[in-house]
Amino acid sequence: MHPEETLQAHVDLRGRWLLPIHNGTFDLAMHVWHEPFERIAALAAARGVSLITPEMGERVHLESPQSGSAWWRSVVE
């Protein structure tokens, strides 16, 4: 799903925390690698959706998730 569809599915399902997966897993698209991260972060902020953005491989504690940071901005392309 595209970031817009991901956010809408999350809203439709009345999720508490949005944890987008597979964002940035592969650099095969025609857009820059970090664009999906930026899009979902902006969409979530605009809709007041709590977003979890762990670094790849980082553990997420489901009982007390942490929102994380925009770590992808520091990754060199």
Rg for the chain (alpha carbons), in Å? 12
Note if the pTM is more than 0.85: no
What are the residue boundaries of the structural domains of the chain, listed by start? Answer: 3-72
**What integer pLDDT is reported at residue 42 of this predicted model?**
96
| Contacts with 65 (C-beta within 8 Å, 6 or more apart), sequence order | 17, 19, 52
**What integer pLDDT is reported at residue 27 of this predicted model?**
64
Per-residue pLDDT of the chain (77 residues; tens, 9 = 90+): 888 999 999 999 999 999 988 766 666 667 787 888 899 999 999 999 999 998 888 889 888 888 878 888 887 65
